Every structure is written in C-alpha cells, then in structure tokens.
Amino acid sequence: MKLGAVYREPGNRCLVPRVWKATNAFERMRGLLGRAPLAPGEGLLIDACSMVHTIGMRYALDLIFLDLTGHVQKLVHNVKPLRCAGAFTAKATLELPAGSLATLRLHLGEQLTWRTVVV
C-alpha cells in the first residue's frame, strides 16, 4: 500500500494526514481485515469501491464515498461490525476511525484529493 494524505479542495487543507491507498486487487479485497484499528488521523482509501462490509471487523468505521473526481457522494457514521454500506455513484471509499466524520465537518459535494507522501 502507498502512504499519502487526504486534502479538502479548494484550499489545499489537510484533513487526514496518514492515509494508505489500496493499490491492487488483494489490498482492496483485504482492506482493514486483520489489521489494528485505525488511529485518529489515519484512513484507508480504496479505489474502485462503491460498497464495503465490516464482516470480520472488531471495530466500527466512518465511511466517505467519493465519485470519480473525488466529490463526496455519501457520508456514513459509525458502521459497526457485521454491516454493509455503499453508494451507487461512488468510485472510491475512504475508511476512517469511528467518530472522525464529526470532527471533519464534511458536506456532500465537497471535493477531496489523495496525495502521496514524499519521504
């Protein structure tokens, strides 16, 4: 997985400073399964993903569904284990620790971008 950050556009404001991006089919399929819970300020961006499940997860997630241009299509708070969520128009999903959406104050239609972290 590649490490980057998610920014709110316009304005170039960093919203989530540590976001891993699933870059192949295996990483997309595995997602966060078997991984430690995300810490505040961390996330997982899954491209080509309009629906996620939390079957096998031990913790809840907040989800942001994005269209092809990074515009927010749907926000889902506190998806507990053994649940599914999706958005018909989504092309990517950003998974965050439960409670993150309350602090980010996002709105439908806002644009987010992911950028690689340069080490």
- In this predicted structure, what is the pLDDT of residue 25? 86
Exposure of 1 in the CB half-sphere (CA atoms within 13 A): 20
Q: Give the domain extent around 54.
A: 2-116
For residues 56 and 32, is the Cβ–Cβ distance under 8 A?
no
Q: How many domains does the chain have?
A: 1
Q: What is the DSSP letter of 87?
A: -
pLDDT at 81 over 90: yes
* CATH code of residue 32: 2.60.120.1140
What tens digit of pLDDT does each residue of 59-72 get? 999 999 999 999 99
Which pLDDT band holds residue 119 (cuts at 50, 70, 90)? low
pTM score: 0.94
Q: Is 72 helix (H, G, I), strand (E, B) or coil?
A: strand
Beta carbons within 10 angstroms of residue 94's beta carbon: 26
The phi-psi region of residue 73 (left if phi > 0; otherwise alpha if psi is between -120 and 50; otherwise beta) is: alpha
